[in-house]
Structure 1
Amino acid sequence: LAVLRTFSEGELLGRLPFMNINGSGLFYAAEQELPAVGFRAVNEGYSQSHGVVDQRAEAVHLFGGDVDVDRSIVDLMGPEARASQIEMKIRSMRLTLEATVINGDSSANPRGFDGLSHRLQPGEAMVINNNGTAVAGAPLDFDRLDELIDSVNAYGGSKVLVMSKAMRRQLNALARSSMGSGVFQTGTDSYGMTVHRYQDCDIVTVDRDARDLEVMGYDEAGNSSSIYCCSFGDQGVTGLQGPFQGRYGISVRDLGEVPDAPVFRTRIDWYVGFAVLHPRAAGRLYNITAN
């Protein structure tokens, strides 16, 4: 329960679903083109056609770490000291995984997966320039943001806007100055937590990683940042997780005192991955400057 609570503290991981899969990865057919249909006359046949799909694969990756706590600390300070170290490790995992979902780069770290920024590159169909065709960035534009939201297919579910806290403040300020607070709303979820919304899309913020560095700062080209619109679900944007000894989720194992040092070791494992299962399940608005 403590592990689940720590992970749910993150807005992004608290919303991102995880698909349970068997084996080392997920093999799936990404929809590219729908088959043709039409009308027919009596005694006339239909024309044959088929949809076009792209065969793709997403792997699960080995994610986690060991926590060593000196025996003397446990003897002098009690088991709470060890529990505190485990909680810190799990919090570091949550922050690192959220950062990887946004900025993961498998070319820089082949052990990890590509995040949204590397799956949605400028020039691609689902990536929109906040400043039209201009190279230089510009402050957030409502029309471009609406275009981003409309470009993403919700597949019967809901859409989520992923941004930094600074970007959320910019959106809030723009809403107040241009048209009041009607399109930018706040409410509460089932847990009593405050939820911000724009155009019926929940806003999810990502703050800092485990090294205390901004994940979505104004550090892209031209001191700009991005907003992502995602449709979370098993037909859209989802996390992946494989089984560990027949059970899905995070494994926390007490290995006891190791033989070569006076330390107690705890090992934390998660077989985890990330997938965008449809070409229109996620989009990006980039080239947004602070002012």
Structure 2
Amino acid sequence: MTKVEAAKLTNDLLLRGVIETIVKESSVLLMLPFMEVTGTALTYNREATMPQAQFYDVGDTWAEATPTFTQVTVPLRILGGDADIDNFLQQTYANPNDLEAVVLESRAKAVAYAFTESFFIGDSTANPKSFDGLRKLVPAAQTISPGANGGSLTLDLMDQLIDLVKPGKPDALLMSKRTRRKLSALRRASGNLLETDVDQFGRRALFYDGIPILVDDFIPDNETLGTGTNLSSIYAVKFGSAGVMGLENGGIQVVRVGDLETKDASRWRVKWYVSLAVFSELGVARLQGITAN
């Protein structure tokens, strides 16, 4: 289930507030479902090739064929941080719960930012403590670009990107604000505006051919391709077992560590054992190398 639905099922108001803060700070978490993992990692088989089928005559010898699979192991990573609350402020503050809420909300935002950043550009080679993000997980066969050194975004490229995701359409198109502005300009020039609606938080949402557009500040506009610089990417994603899914153990946890020895404060810990898996390579696609104009 998504973090939005998980927040509805907890009776812990403090934890619910942290989850809702994290969701609102991350456009990805609005739609990304999570699977509960037992153990420190998930190992699954991703279909590599399908068995061949053919036509036969009466009396022909039938040929045996079996599919092949690629075994993938995704380890859980530890994400979180501590939040210290000064005991003097806690005791003298008009409403102690308000002070705790402010401090924990700040820490929850940091967790949301860290997860979303890794969702897009995480690289376990550069940082072994992180999980791999879409930029590394999307295969070359599912990646297109305007040219060897990048180029301008076009509506034809958008349609190509969408068609790479199978079966059906992607559940969302993920892009930066700069790219969203360019896409809006292209639609206006063609005589069609991006469709609008509201999301579950009552915020205005954009759609491209019925596909939700998720705009995220953690999709960088400074990528390189060939000799091209200051480029960006658009990701077309299916969520769930047909594409991308989050992995976790125990969900988001808020733990009171207790009073500290070296200062007059109590410590809270927000932690999340989490990772990201691509169950079907056909469920994700990337359009890279998009220039600012």
Coarse TM-score class (shorter-chain normalised): 0.7 to 0.9
Question: Is 1:140 matched up with 2:153?
Answer: yes
Deviations 1:211-268 (A, max 9, x none): xxxx2232112211110111111231011001xxxxx311101123124431111111
Q: Normalising by the residue count of structure 1, what TM-score does the alignment of the two structures yield? A: 0.87
Q: How does 1:33-182 map to 2 (within 5 A)?
A: 33-42=49-58, 44=60, 46-77=62-93, 78-79=95-96, 80-120=98-138, 124-131=140-147, 134-135=148-149, 137-154=150-167, 158-181=170-193
Name the CA distance, whole Å, in 1 between partners of 2:51 and 2:212: 33
1:198 aligns with 2:212: no
8 Å contact kept, 1:7–1:14: no
Per the alignment, residue 282 of structure 1 pairs with 284
User: How far apart are the structure 2 equivalents of 1:228 and 1:162?
Assistant: 5
Alpha-carbon displacement from aligned partner over 1:99-140 (angstroms, at most 9, x marks no partner): 11001111221101111112237xx21110123xx42x3221
Matched, 1:15 2:28: no
Moved more, 277-286 or 40-49: 40-49
Q: Distance in 2 between matches of 1:39 and 1:185?
A: 46
Equivalent pair of 1:38/1:46 in contact (CA under 8 Å): no
C-alpha separation in 2, matches of 1:171 and 1:235: 27
Q: Which residue identity is paired with 1:199?
A: D
User: What is the Cα deviation at residue 44 of structure 1?
Assistant: 5.0
Separation of aligned partners in 2, 1:36 and 1:204: 38
Q: Distance in 1 between matches of 2:219 and 2:202?
A: 26
Tell me the amino acid that sits aligned with residue 186 of structure 1.
T
Aligned residues: 271
Unaligned runs of 5+ in 1: 208-214, 243-247
Deviation of 1:158 (Å): 4.3
Structure 2 residue aligned with 1:224: 231
- Match of 1:249, SS state, is strand
1:150-175 deviations in whole A, cap 9, x for unaligned?
01124x67431100122111101110
Q: What is the root-mean-square deviation of aligned Cα atoms in Å?
A: 1.8
Structure 2 residue 23 is matched with structure 1 residue 5: no
Q: Please name the residue that 1:211 is paired with.
A: none
Tell me the CA shift for residue 29 of structure 1.
Answer: 0.7
What is the rounded CA distance, in whole Å, between the counterparts of 1:178 and 1:223 in structure 2? 26
Percent identity, please. 34
Distance in 2 (CA, whole Å) between partners of 1:262 and 1:45 is: 82
Note if contact 1:19-1:234 (Cα within 8 Å) is conserved in structure 2. no
CA distance in 2, matches of 1:129, 1:158: 18
Runs of 4+ in 1 over 6 A off after TM superposition: none
Higher helix fraction: Structure 1 or Structure 2?
2
- Contact 1:31/1:279 (CA < 8 Å) preserved in 2? no
Instruction: Confirm or deny: 8 A CA contact 2:175 2:215 kept in the other structure.
Output: yes
- Residues in 2 aligned to 1:145 and 1:157: alpha-carbon distance in whole angstroms: 12
Q: Give, in angstroms, the shift of residue 190 of structure 1.
A: 4.5
Give SS of 2:162's match: helix
How far the C-alpha of 1:38 sits from its partner, in A, is: 2.8
